[in-house]
Amino acid sequence: MISSALNLLSFSVIAKESGIHTKKIAPAKPSVLLIGDSHTVGVFGHALTHLLTETLPNVAITTVASCGSDPKWWLEGKPTNCGFWQRRADGVEIEEHKAYTPKLDTLLRSKPKLTLVALGSNIILMNEEERVTYTQALMAMIEKKSSRCIWIGPPDSRKFSVAEIGAVYSLLKTLAKPHHCQVIDSRKYTLYPSIGGDGLHYGGKEGTVIALHWAEKLFSHDIKPILLKSFSHERENKKN
């Protein structure tokens, strides 16, 4: 009797374990990660995120934006005290005035197929050594995690000179090549108003229009062709 009971118990445990091991687990959705500075906290980032989610409804889109951030912030987790916005893959949004910038290494654990980096204006404020060290480290980390890299450079501004912005683009293009990162020039789609605003951020009536134009043109001309190729299978699933 005792022996029979033990045999039945053993069979029950084995059956349960077998059920666990044979249970089908749904494959993780392919994903896109967008990180950025105050421009991404604002109208530009919200518009670009909307375009990504509308174009790829079967892809998990995550946006994380930290005002004032440069590449160093995303490697060391520095705090912002001028604005933070996150749109999680499940659609939940988090907005804070003060928050710690998440480390890119942590964000890349989701293994995004494509990583978009919208940083540049604050790189101007870094010294030459830090510009090279941290920008290169960020690109190398994305490459190491096997995620395709697209770097969205800084827009036109009145706060910084043409030469200062141009120096950042020269750096980005030099570092991007060995790390297989594509640089998109935002200056093609932006022209900061001669008066009004703070000279850097695109706000108010006129600035909002420019920010929306920036997001739409950059997306349709530069990003969408890459998405259609990289996520063709997910788009086919949508049709079916």
Range of the domain at 139: 33-235
Residue 81 sits in a domain of what CATH number?
3.40.50.1110
Is residue 118 situated within a structural domain? yes
Distances 197 to 37, 137, 227 between C-alpha atoms, Å: 18, 33, 33
Q: How many domains does the chain have?
A: 1
Judge whether residue 15 has pLDDT over 70: no
Is residue 54 situated within a structural domain? yes
Is residue 15 situated within a structural domain? no
pLDDT band at 9 (very low <50, low <70, confident <90, very high): very low
Query: Does residue 8 or residue 131 have the better pLDDT?
Result: 131
Mean pLDDT of 79-95: 98
The pLDDT score that the predictor gives to residue 234 is 65
Q: For 191-206, give the DSSP string.
A: ---SSSS-SSS--HHH
Query: Pseudo-torsion of CA 35, 39, 41, 42, nearest 10°?
Result: -150
pTM (2 d.p.): 0.87
Is residue 130 situated within a structural domain? yes
The pLDDT score that the predictor gives to residue 13 is 37
CB burial of residue 227 (10 Å; 0-12, 13-18, 19+): buried
Residue 125's closest CA among 201, 176, 83, 72?
Answer: 72
Is residue 218 situated within a structural domain? yes
Cα–Cα–Cα angle for 220, 222, 228, rounded to 5 degrees: 70
pLDDT band at 4 (very low <50, low <70, confident <90, very high): very low
The pLDDT score that the predictor gives to residue 137 is 98
Read off the pLDDT of residues 62-76 as tens digits, 9 standing for 90 and up. 999 999 999 999 999
